[in-house]
Amino acid sequence: MPGFERVVTATTRPPRPNEVNGRDYHFYSEAEFDARLAAGGFLEWAWVHRKARYGTPKSSVVDRLPHTNLVMNIDVQGVRSIRAAAQDMPELRGRVVTMFVAPDSIEVLRERLLGRGPMSEDELARRLQSAELELSERFSYDYIIHSRTKEQDFLALLDFWTQAQRKLPAC
């Protein structure tokens, strides 16, 4: 255990091959997402790529936060929402650290997106346009990880965590 746990976020998009409900995402129907949203069940949520909604179940964070450090994989809209929530929620205040995982180039990102499976030219163009807008916000984050592979990105996160732990005062 590296000292933190991953938060499983939710989406209304269908699972990709090999994705498992509850492990990769909580896959909700539109109606289920709406019901949870109306009940105040999300810490943050957003429409992503004009196609599906994504969100972070509030209980996945608030109920676990006193016991562990959490890592969330969320987009720039979600980060803005989490930062705003941290101003009003004592359990989040002072505990939010942001990291932007940046591809080496838009072309590298293009190849990764195409590697996920079939995608229309319109969808690819929309995602790349979104990525360029998101990349323009990277300098507003606390840290930037230059993305390589999923495994190397995780090792970079672990390295950051190890360095941060060394800087904490001894109890």
Q: Do 82 and 109 reside in the same domain of the chain? A: no
Q: Do 86 and 105 reside in the same domain of the chain? A: no
Domain count, the chain: 2
Which domain CATH number covers 30? Answer: 3.40.50.300
Q: What is the DSSP string of the chain?
A: --SEEEPP-EESSPPPTT--BTTTBEE--HHHHHHHHHTT-EEEEEEETTTEEEEEEHHHHHTTTTTSEEE----HHHHHHHHHHHHH-TTTTT----EEEE-S-HHHHHHHHHHTS---HHHHHHHHHHHHHHHTTGGGSSEEEE---HHHHHHHHHHHHHHHHHHSPP-
Q: Do 62 and 107 reside in the same domain of the chain? A: no
- Tell me the pTM: 0.80
For 16-44, the pLDDT digits (tens) are 989 999 999 999 999 999 999 999 999 99
Q: Do 109 and 64 reside in the same domain of the chain? A: no
For 117-167, the pLDDT digits (tens) are 888 999 999 999 999 999 999 999 999 999 988 889 989 988 888 887 776
Domain stops at, among 81, 96, 111: 96
Q: Do 24 and 63 reside in the same domain of the chain? A: yes
Q: Do 48 and 5 reside in the same domain of the chain? A: yes
Q: Do 67 and 125 reside in the same domain of the chain? A: no
Q: Do 64 and 112 reside in the same domain of the chain? A: no
For 78-130, the pLDDT digits (tens) are 999 999 999 989 888 888 889 999 998 999 999 999 988 888 999 999 999 99
Q: Do 14 and 68 reside in the same domain of the chain? A: yes
* Containing structural domain, residue 124: 97-171
